[in-house]
Every structure is written in structure tokens, then in C-alpha cells.
Chain A
């Protein structure tokens, strides 16, 4: 009802709207015009309603009472029908009462609306007259206004003219004041004076034909010249920091001083400053000592990172700043700047190089890498100005890295020599009886492991140079050449080569020319080490290196692994051969002395095996143990020990009469040769000092061959008595008994001992051999 009263109170037109909202239930006619809108805003519901008109919807537009009735009758039970009927009745009654109320209300409104319209008609008539009045008044006003403005126009023009004159006069005033201001500012604020002068200058120049202006111009010129003079003095004499310098030169440029001259001044001033920076850096370096007398310069005051830091922040920073302001000041013409900067940069590089050279020890590589990295980064800004320096800088970094790698190589070598020294000491250390020192396998394992560990550590250090976060690692040098030439070839391959060479050196070098010879155990150890390198270590190291430092496809050629392996194998072979020779020579020496020093003619009947033979067997047994610690057993010629034993006994029992018979049959001197020659026809030629294989049996065979051949040659140089021959016989049998088991082919031992026996018989004045049973008895007893 509030809406109704408001509507009636205002008397305005749209009175139906509150009804439309208030009584939506019965307002079917009102809703009609809203249909399109509703369709527009809610098309889905409208369309749904239109698509399937439901005749049973009692509120729907398509309601069909017949259908509805049929449906209800068909579907609903009686109780529900009754309830529905009651509900419908109630609803109809309610609707009726609503309708009556609305009818009543609308009637009232209609009456009040009629009243309002009637009242309006009266008012409009009155208003029309007033409007006419107003129009007449307005016409009068505009006429008088036109008259007024016509009267005022002339005065307005004169006023405007006067204002213009005043402005001009003010400008003139400012111009007149210029010299004063300039004078005032020139001392304290040259920049402001310059701005002022710049503003005034054009005008002054324009009106310079007027004497008064000329005077002003001249005066200000004089002031400015004075200012320029002062600025120049400042430029020349004072120490200016780069910013002041730039300002100063900029002002001078504005004063139209010759740019050429200024740029020179600028550079010399800048040069002085940079020189000072360099001198400060140089002061940290020890004085260059050309004579090289100072063998150990004192350690640098600060570490390399600090040095590079200072150098880059002070020198490089200043240089960059100066170079960029130079560019800003003098435009793109860098013809003068470039050589200037290049010269200074070169000196800086030289200083840095000297500082790097001081990094003698291995120090902290990460520090060095960081220092180089910083250097390289800071330099980038400079390099934009100075493209020529890029190569020099990259070369500097590369050299430093290369130098470091070389130093690592030397350190590795020293380390290896140190390890070798330890091994030698361990080998030479006197051992308390009954207490074994560290065995050869342990020593070998320790040596190999520590060398490999050291190599890995070095590789890890060197890898810092190619780390991802290091700026210069992206240089092409560090991607390709550094990995291949410096690290793989220069460090890893060089080390392995050096190792092989060093090892070989023990076999090739000193043995005979006085220098202390390497102990045989060391030769054996190194032979095994080299062999292990050939078998696995080299390929492992190379794989590791290639992983950590991937080689470029198009990079320089690398040493292939097999070539290195071949070197290692050659070294191992040489060492092992040398080991055989040294050990063989030791035993041979013993045998030679024993044969040479004995009086074979006057000796008594043998009762024992000579002590030296026992010693020989002992030594060879010891060598067998030693070699067995490091090398595999190896293959003997296919003979079971059982059968060889039998063959041996058959041989030894049949030998004595069979072999010696012809040699002391006076009638047939030729038979001996015949026999031995026939025997030789069937035996292979034995090379005494021949390369051995990498196994115990082969090594031992080599040593035994050398020893027995020596015995043979020595016996041939002597003349024996009967007992001398018998002694040789006993000794030979003893050796036969104990040495066959060490040799790869016992026939070698047997053949050589046969020759010894035959030669002894030849060299005997009275060749009566001992009963074989006695020989056996003596040997068993001894």
C-alpha cells in the first residue's frame, strides 16, 4: 500500500509498475509485453515452455481443462482427487477475493488520476504567457551587451599591447643581468652558469649587431672563457675522480672547446688515474728479479682472488667507466680510445700474469678458478669496448689453466716418486726374523690405489675449470682444446706415459753405470703395476677422463687407449725381463765365483753337496715365492708331476753309464761329439736371455736357464780332477732334484745339466764318475 500512496502522492505517470511487481499472480495481461524480454534474458526456460506445451499445467498458457481432467481422473486415487478438489476450491476462493480487492484499489487510482489531469490543464494555460515575457526580456539584454562590448574593444587591445611590452622588457632585464649572474655562478656552480649562458647565447648572438647587446655578449663571453680556463686548469692539475672528470669535460664541451684537444686531455687524465691503479696493484707484487737470485720470493700478501677482485673493481671498473663516458662525450669516434685502452689492458694482463706466476704451489684450485672467473666476468664489460682484448684475456685464462694442469702433472709425478720411495723403503726395511713385513701384493695394492686416488683427485680439481657456473668454461678453448690437449693428453696420457717411462727407467738405466740399482722386488712390483695398467687401469682412467671432460668430435687427435696399453705392456715386459736378468745374474754370479775360485784338480772326494748349490736352490725358492705373490702360476708343459717324476728317475738311473761311457773310452773321441750333436738335433735351441711371459713359471724358467748356462760356461773354462768331476756330478744331481719343479719344461733343466755334466767330463783329466747310487745318497743326505 505504501507504493500506492506514493504513486498517488506524486501524481506521476507510471503508476502501474508497483502493481506489476506486487500482483504477479493475476497479471497475465501485464506480463504479455514482457514476453520478448523474458525470452531474451531467459531463452532456455521460454523455449522449453514453448517446445513442449504442457496442457496439464494449470498455470501454463496452454492449459486444457479436458486433458487435465482426464489425466487427473485417470491417474489419481479418490482420496487425492478429493484433496485436490478441496485445494482447488480454496484456491479459487482466494483468487476471487484478491480480484475484488484489486478492482477496488484500481478504481480509486483512476479517480485520483482524472483529478490530476484536470488540474494540469489549468496550470499550462498560465505558463504560456510567462514564457512570452521571458523571450522579450532576453532580446533586450543581448542588445545592450553588444553595445557594451563594442565600447570596450579598443581598450582591451591597448591592454594586451602593454602586457607584451612588459614581457619583453623583463627579458631584456634578464639579458642585462646575465653577466652578473654568470659571474656570480661561475665560481660556485659552473653547471648553472653554463645553463644560463646556453639560454642567453642564442639571443645575444641574434642581436649582436646592437651595440648594447654586443657589450653583454662580450662580457659573458669573457666570463665563460674565464670559466673554461678555470675548468681546464682543473682538468689539468687536479686529481679528479672519473665522475668529476666527465662533468668537467662535458662542460668544456658545452663551452665549445675543441673536442680533439679535450679528448686528449681526457685520456691523459684518465691514463694518470689508471696508472695509479696499476701501480697500486703492482705494489703488491714482489719486484721482478731478472737475475733470479731470490729463489724463494716471500708469499704474496693477499691471495689471488683478493688480488683479482681489487684489480677488477678498481682498474677494470674505472676503465669501463671512463671508456663509456668517453663514448658519451666524444661520440662513436674511438680511434684514440682503443689503443689507449688496449695498452692499459695489456699492462693489466701482464700484471695479472705475474701474479699468477706467483701461484707456485698447488694452493687452492677453486680459489684460482674463482679468481679467473671473476677476472673473466669483469672483463666482459670492458671487452665490449675493446674487442681486441678478448683474445688476450682468453689466452691469459687458458694459459693459467694450462699452467695449473702442468703443475698437477708434476705434482702427480712427485707423488708417484714419493710412493715409489715408500715402497723401496718398505722393501729395504730390515725385518725382524719371523715377522713378515707387508707383502708385495699389499705394497702393490697400496701403490696402485694411492696413485689412482691421487689422479682422480687431480681430475676433480681440474674439473673446476670446466664447471658450469664458471664463465670462461664456455669459451671454445675450455670446451674443446682444454679437455683434449691439456687434460687428456697433457695430464692423463702424459702421466701414464711418464709412469711407463719411469718404470722402464729402472730397467734400462742405472743398473750398470754405478747408480744404485733398483731392488729386484721393485722391478717385479713395477712390472705387475704396468701390466695392471695395460689390463684395466688405463682404460678405466681414459674412460673416466672422457666422461669428465667430454672430447669434441672435431677436436685434435687423441692418443688412443690401445697405444698407451702397448706402451705399458712394453714397459712391463722390459721390467720383467730385467727382473729375470738381475735375479739370474745374481744366481749366476754366485755359481761363477764358486766354480772359478775352487781348485778342481786338488779337491777331495765329494761328501756333500756344495753349500753354494744349496744357496742357489734356496734363492730360487725365495724368488719363486716372491714372483708367486704377484704373478699367476702359468702353464707347465703338459706333464703331471707324477709322470715327470718317473721320467726323471728313469732318466737318472739310465744316464750315468749311458752318458759317460763314450767320453772315457779312449778309442772313440769322436763319439762324444756325435752323441751330443745328435742330442742337439732333437732338442730345440734354447735362448738364454729371452723375453719371458707374465707368469711365475716362465720367469723362474728364465732365471734357471741363465744360472745353469753360466754353470756350463764356467765349467768349460776349468780343468777338473776326478773328484772335481764327481763334485760337479753331485751338484748337478742336486740341482736337478730341486729345480725341475720350478721350470715350465723340466727338459730344459735336464738338457742344460746334461751339458754341464758332459762338459765337466770333457774337462776332466781322469773322468771316473761316481756311482749313481752314491750320488743319490749324498744328495738325499744333503
Chain B
């Protein structure tokens, strides 16, 4: 069985910011924010038609500056937050704002791509996250599974928890915490844990990973020297509440149990340059996606530390109830997998469609078998988990 070829979409500008439309669970939709110092920046809404393998795009202007980070509300399809550079002649400031996209784009419109350039639309600003006192914004996180009213932003060495009021028209700083220490501390990234009632976040600064309780705004754990060099990104295992993945400039991806942080549970060393992004699959947490500045995207299967270490528990009755039309295929293809069950931790695939550093990878929020990766030269690649593996996990 042949896997579908990757779908490639090219942006005119360089880009670093990529996010799935979190609130959308039916259509496969990604948002990409561009970086250009000299032209108006854009947010591309990429709709992927899975059946026809076609990409539809809509472009929104984001005139305030180049986009360094983008995230979407988990409750409202139309709401998103960006971190962007505001540039003057002598100063660059990274600010954050919450936006609403035009109503008709929320669920994607299927206009033909060619006339999209003519009718670029503009985002509606909902509110600024005022950071004049806190420094440059590194990222904005939405409360996972929340109602889209709470966001946390990381600004230099501050963690800022905001309440969005009046249908997001006003952002009120409800609490904050500052990281004190020697030197100039700066958060590079953070993730909001979907567990524990969404009361924990993890942040990365330099080589350290820290966990925080959002109620008390206090540190709850700290992984000193989590990586040999800068930690670039984090992600929480969606199914195992104490498991955390981190990646960094030492080319490694590490998996931590936050209850015992003296040693990583596992370490992956597959990339040949800095790893900028690590993402757990939302449903099948053995699937790990990493993007690196060696221009590669690697999909790994970390069965041994996943929530399904022995594969999906299915008994034979259930198997025989499966649809008939897949039966033949299945027997033909999956035999090799069945023999070596349970699967070992392994690299499933290395994707080499990019030619520049990959700064962002994201799973689709709608289809757990699909992911997008974005490289600096503006190339967005949509790929799927190899079908053989997919069926092996499912069946």
C-alpha cells in the first residue's frame, strides 16, 4: 500500500509560526504567520481537503508586524493570538494581541485560490496584551480545553496570566510571576498542561525546564540542565499526566517524568542539528513529531513510554466485526507488524521535503493522522502517518 505523497504549499515570505485551528474538529485547518520586515505580514489559513488532496488558502493581513508565534483559541474558531515584532528605527519590541478573523473564514471558504490575492482581508483586533512593563512576548498559550477566556503569555522573565473579558475585548492581567535569578533570564517557550484541571504549565529558559502552578504562580518542579544547551520547546503527553517532552540545541529530544526529574525517561538523538519543535500526537501519544534546523521532520514511535505500551487492546471478536472491505488489505499488510508485536521504540519516518530549517511542526486538531511542518523559506508540508502504522495502531 502506498502512502499518499506529501502536499506542499509555498508561502511568499519566510515563516516561523504555525498552529492548527484548535477549536475546529472536522476540517483540517492550519494557520501560518509570516515574517517579513519590508512587506505586510500575512496569516495564511490553510484548508486541506483530505479526500481530494487539495489545499485551499485564505490570506489575512497582519499589518502590525512580523509574526513570531501564533496560537488559536480552543473554544472559538475565529479567535487567535499572535506574538509579533513591532519595529522602530532603533528598537524592536515583541508584543502580543488577540484577534478575530472574519466570520466567513472561520470554517473556511472554498474560493478558488487564484483570486485570493485580490481580496485579502484584515484581522479584527480584539485586544492587546499590554507588555510595556514586562518585556518581549515569547509566546501565548490558551488554556487547553477551556472556554477561551484564559491565556498565559511569557514575556522575558515573566509569566502573565490574563483573563479575557467582554468577549475577549479586554485582557485583564489576573496574576503574574517573575523568574528571578542571576543574569538576564528569558523564557523561550512554554506549554500549558491539559491535566490537573489545567493548573500547570511548563516553561523553558536557557537549559532549564520549570513547572508552575497557575493558581499560586509558584514553581512546582525544575529540571536544571534538562538539555546541554538551550531548550527550544516543550510538550505535554496528552494521555499521561506526568510526562513531558523537551527538545533543544543539543539535538536531543528528552522525555521526562515530572515526578522524578533527575534523569530523563528516554532520550532521542536522531536530528543532526537543533530541534526546534516537539509535539505529541493528540490521540496516540506514542507518535512524536519533531522539527529541526537540519531541515528534517522526524516521526518517532515511542511505544514504551506511551499510554499504550502494549498496543491497543482489542480482542479478536472486535477484529472480526471490522468492515469487510478492509479485511483483505489488512491481512496482507499488517502481518509483519503483528509478528514483531509489541513495537519497539523507533523512528518511523524522516521527512526530507524541506530545504531550510524547520521551525514548526503541528498535528492537525481534526485528523490525528495528519500533520504539517513549516520551514523558514515558507514551505508548508502536509504529511500523513504511514498507513501501515496507522492501521497497526488502530487494529
List the interface of chain A (C-beta within 8 A of B): 511-514, 585, 589, 601-602, 666, 669-670, 673, 676-677, 680, 685, 687-690, 709, 713, 716, 719, 721, 762-765
Contact = CB atoms under 8 A, between A and B. Distances in A.
A713 B355 CA distance: 14
B389 to A, nearest CB: 25
B272 A666 contact: no
A175 B92 CA distance: 140
Nearest to A513: B225
- Interface residues of chain B: helix, strand, loop or mixed (majority): loop
B92 A719 contact: yes
Interface stretch (B83-91, B105-113, B122-130, B330-338): B83-91
A688 B294 contact: yes
A678 to B, nearest CB: 11
B90 A601 contact: yes
A765 B294 CA distance: 27
Interface string B226-259: 0111000000000000000000001100000000
B221 interface: no
Contacts of B14: 762
Contacts of A673: 12, 377-378
B37 A762 contact: yes
B376 interface: yes
A673 B38 CA distance: 15
B53 to A, nearest CB: 23
B273 interface: yes
21 contacts: A512-B207, A512-B225, A512-B250, A514-B225, A669-B39, A673-B377, A677-B377, A687-B272, A687-B273, A688-B293, A689-B251, A689-B272, A690-B272, A713-B357, A716-B357, A719-B92, A721-B89, A762-B37, A764-B37, A765-B37, A765-B89
Contacts of B271: 689
Given A601-B89, A676-B377, A685-B295, A669 B37 contact: no
A312 B37 CA distance: 95
A602 B12 contact: no
Contacts of B89: 601, 721, 765
Interface in B199-225: 207, 224-225
A512 B377 contact: no
B162 interface: no
5 closest residue pairs by CB, A with B: A512-B228, A687-B272, A688-B273, A689-B272, A719-B92
A707 B30 CA distance: 34
B7 to A, nearest CB: 18
B37 A688 contact: no
B351 interface: no
B273 A689 contact: yes
A709 B251 CA distance: 13
B295 A719 contact: no
A689 B227 CA distance: 16
A595 to B, nearest CB: 13
A713 B12 contact: no
Given A676-B377, A687-B294, A688-B294, A713 B274 contact: yes
Contacts of A670: 12
B92 A585 contact: no
B48 interface: no
A666 B38 CA distance: 9
Interface string B281-314: 0000000000001110000000000000000000
Contacts of B36: 669
A112 B90 CA distance: 180
A72 to B, nearest CB: 129
Q: Which of A589, A601, A673, A762 has most B Cβ within 10 Å?
A: A673
A514 B207 CA distance: 12
A713 B293 contact: yes
B12 A669 contact: yes
Contact of B13 (A669, A676, A763): A669
A765 B225 contact: no
A663 B85 CA distance: 20
Nearest to A685: B295
Interface string B124-161: 00000000000000000000000000000000000000
A73 to B, nearest CB: 132
Given A676-B356, A677-B355, A765-B38, 18 more contacts: A514-B224, A589-B229, A601-B89, A601-B90, A602-B91, A669-B36, A685-B352, A687-B272, A688-B294, A690-B272, A709-B293, A713-B357, A719-B85, A719-B92, A721-B89, A721-B90, A763-B37, A764-B37
Nearest to A670: B12
Contacts of A602: 90-91
Contacts of B91: 601-602
A688 B229 CA distance: 15
A585 B38 CA distance: 33
B227 A512 contact: yes
Contacts of B378: 673
Interface in B71-116: 85, 87, 89-92
B228 A709 contact: no
Contacts of A676: 356, 377
A763 B355 CA distance: 19
Q: Which of B85, B224, B251, B274 has most A Cβ within 10 Å?
A: B274
Nearest to B263: A513
Nearest to B293: A713
Nearest to B228: A512
A676 B262 CA distance: 44
B87 A765 contact: yes
Contacts of B85: 719
Q: Which of B36, B37, B377 has most A Cβ within 10 Å?
A: B37
Contacts of B352: 685
Nearest to B355: A680
Contacts of A601: 89-92
B161 to A, nearest CB: 26
Contacts of B357: 713, 716
A492 B227 CA distance: 37
Contacts of B250: 512, 585
A511 B37 contact: no
B272 A688 contact: yes
B171 to A, nearest CB: 26
Contacts of A765: 37-38, 87, 89
A602 to B, nearest CB: 5
A730 B352 CA distance: 33
B263 to A, nearest CB: 8
B169 to A, nearest CB: 30
Interface in B13-33: 13-14
Contacts of A677: 355, 377
Contacts of A680: 355-356
Contacts of B355: 677, 680
A675 to B, nearest CB: 11
A719 B376 contact: no
Given A673-B377, A765-B87, A585 B229 contact: yes
Contacts of B87: 719, 765
Contacts of B251: 689
Q: Which of A602, A670, A716, A721 has most B Cβ within 10 Å?
A: A716
A585 B228 contact: yes
Contacts of B12: 669-670, 673
B228 A511 contact: yes
A719 B92 CA distance: 7
Nearest to A582: B228
A769 to B, nearest CB: 15
Contacts of A762: 14, 37
Contacts of B228: 511-512, 585
A676 B85 CA distance: 25
A764 B228 CA distance: 31
Contacts of A512: 207, 225, 227-228, 250
Contacts of A687: 272-273, 294
B6 to A, nearest CB: 17
A775 B228 CA distance: 36
B40 to A, nearest CB: 11
Contacts of B90: 601-602, 721
